[in-house]
């Protein structure tokens, strides 16, 4: 047996074979070392923050330095980047809305991705000459306000891809947060509806949603898994809120703030508040009434 294997042993003992084996080991070890180098060099992906606060007249110092345009539009571009990632819904409550670039992003969301867009505003801003509400209305986006209201709708917030409450969940949340309305504690139309017109709320908001129906929750998760997006929004959606109106100075130079959060503890109250306004401030805008100067003449804003 040893004599039969001797030629094989002689091959392994030869200089040529030793050279081939050594070269192969060197190549393999080099590949392993290179892969280890790449692994150690790889920067771990930064985990998105669940809540960030931005001050409008401050900028982040980054390298390489941005162009003057990018520097000026930092906060505007940030809002647009979130709107451009919307896949399901945009609920916007905004007092003054004069940013063309943001308006175009909202319209893109509706036209290109079939995002449901709902807007609540203030009647006092409907006739604002610089308002881009008219562009939204032209694209069949539903914009609501309260006609001849005594009070301003002064909110400045936007909910992106957040859950929509059904009537039952909305009533339950409202009651848990503020108590059951009583005969002498009906401060708003919504309070009165909770007290005496729950059928109306059911007709308005339905009786089932992803919050209370496991089947709808599963469908939502499946939709999220189908997204081909390198930077998807958080599962709970995003709230953009602060003191800034969506105007050029309001998002570039004023002493204002914008908070962006995916915390349910912040999103839930704003979602419920938006639906309360959607129920109460329910006079839809008529595009024909916003055309200048006809609208000004009808509203007595121009003599």
Q: Is residue 200 part of a domain?
A: yes
Choose the final residue of a domain: 209, 233, 265: 209
Q: Is residue 225 part of a domain?
A: no
**43-94 pLDDT per residue, tens:** 555 667 899 999 999 988 776 777 888 889 999 999 999 999 999 999 999 9
Q: Is residue 29 part of a domain?
A: no
Structure confidence at residue 20 as a pLDDT band (50, 70, 90) = low
Mean pLDDT, to the nearest integer, of 196-217? 88
Instruction: Mark whether 65 and 205 lie in a shared domain.
Output: no
Instruction: Mark whether 154 and 57 lie in a shared domain.
Output: yes
Buried b (16+ CB within 10 A) or exposed e, 207-227: eebbbeeeeeeeeeeeeeeee
Q: Is 120 helix (H, G, I), strand (E, B) or coil?
A: strand
Q: What's the CA gap between 99 and 263, in Å, rounded? A: 27
Choose the final residue of a domain: 151, 185, 209: 209
Total domains, the chain: 2
Q: Is residue 250 part of a domain?
A: yes
The answer to whether 218 and 204 are in contact (CB under 8 A) is: no
Q: What's the CA gap between 177 and 167, in Å, rounded? A: 15
Instruction: Mark whether 57 and 198 lie in a shared domain.
Output: no
Instruction: Mark whether 58 and 182 lie in a shared domain.
Output: no
Q: What's the CA gap between 104 and 80, in Å, rounded? A: 9
Q: At CA 224, angle to CA 218 and CA 228, rounded to 5?
A: 150
The predicted structure's pLDDT at residue 149: 83
The predicted structure's pLDDT at residue 171: 93
Choose the final residue of a domain: 153, 182, 209: 209
Domain that holds residue 190: 165-209
| Residue-averaged pLDDT of the chain | 82
Mean pLDDT, to the nearest integer, of 86-108? 96
Better-predicted residue by pLDDT, 253 or 45: 253
Distance between terminal CA atoms of the chain?
Answer: 117
**133-144 pLDDT per residue, tens:** 888 988 999 999
Residue with tokens 């308006």: 103
Instruction: Mark whether 153 and 260 lie in a shared domain.
Output: yes
Instruction: Mark whether 254 and 136 lie in a shared domain.
Output: yes
Tokens of 93: 């409550």
The predicted structure's pLDDT at residue 45: 59
Structure confidence at residue 196 as a pLDDT band (50, 70, 90) = confident
Residue 45 DSSP symbol: P
Mean pLDDT, to the nearest integer, of 190-201? 89
Instruction: Mark whether 114 and 61 lie in a shared domain.
Output: yes
Instruction: Mark whether 182 and 291 lie in a shared domain.
Output: no
Instruction: Mark whether 95 and 184 lie in a shared domain.
Output: no
Q: Is 38 helix (H, G, I), strand (E, B) or coil?
A: helix
Q: Is residue 117 part of a domain?
A: yes
- CATH number (domain holding residue 69): 3.30.870.10
The predicted structure's pLDDT at residue 13: 60
Q: Name the pTM for this structure.
A: 0.77
Residue with tokens 């979602």: 271
Residue among 40, 76, 124 at smallest CA distance from 244: 76
Query: Given a cut of 50, is residue 296 above it in pLDDT?
Result: no
Instruction: Mark whether 147 and 177 lie in a shared domain.
Output: no
Q: Is residue 90 part of a domain?
A: yes
Q: Is residue 87 part of a domain?
A: yes
The answer to whether 259 and 241 are in contact (CB under 8 A) is: yes
Residue 181 DSSP symbol: -
Instruction: Mark whether 84 and 195 lie in a shared domain.
Output: no
Lowest-confidence range among 98-102, 103-107, 120-124?
Answer: 120-124
Q: Is residue 16 part of a domain?
A: no
Instruction: Mark whether 128 and 249 lie in a shared domain.
Output: yes
Kindly list the distances between the CA atom of residue 163 and the CA atoms of 65, 108, 238, 267, 295, in Å, as whole numbers in the listed order. 38, 21, 10, 9, 35
């Amino acid at each position: 047996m040893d004599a039969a294997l001797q030629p094989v042993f002689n091959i392994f003992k030869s200089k040529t074979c030793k050279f081939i084996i050594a070269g192969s080991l060197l190549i393999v070890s080099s590949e392993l070392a290179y892969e280890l180098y790449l692994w150690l060099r790889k920067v771990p992906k930064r985990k998105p923050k669940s809540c960030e606060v931005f001050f409008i007249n401050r900028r982040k110092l980054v390298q390489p330095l941005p162009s003057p345009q990018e520097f000026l539009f930092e906060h505007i571009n940030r809002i647009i980047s979130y709107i451009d990632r919307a896949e399901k819904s945009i609920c916007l409550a905004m007092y003054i809305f004069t940013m063309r670039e943001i308006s175009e992003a909202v319209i893109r969301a509706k036209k290109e991705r079939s995002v449901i867009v709902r807007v609540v505003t203030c009647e006092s801003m409907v006739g604002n000459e610089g308002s881009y509400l008219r562009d939204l209305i032209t694209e069949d986006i539903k914009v609501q306000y309260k006609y001849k209201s005594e009070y301003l709708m002064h909110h400045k917030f936007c909910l992106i891809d957040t859950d929509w409450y059904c009537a039952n969940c909305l009533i339950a949340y409202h009651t848990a947060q503020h108590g059951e309305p009583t005969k002498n504690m009906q401060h708003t139309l919504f309070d009165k509806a909770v007290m005496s017109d729950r059928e109306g709320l059911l007709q308005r908001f339905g009786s089932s949603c992803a919050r209370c129906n496991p089947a709808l929750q599963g469908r939502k998760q499946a939709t999220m898994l189908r997204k081909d997006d390198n930077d998807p929004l958080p599962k709970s959606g995003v709230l953009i809120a602060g003191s800034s109106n969506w105007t050029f100075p309001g998002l570039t130079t004023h002493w204002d703030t914008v908070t962006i959060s995916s915390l349910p503890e912040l999103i839930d109250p704003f979602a419920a508040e938006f639906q309360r306004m959607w129920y109460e401030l329910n006079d839809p805008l008529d595009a024909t009434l916003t055309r200048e100067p006809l609208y000004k003449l009808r509203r007595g804003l121009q003599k």
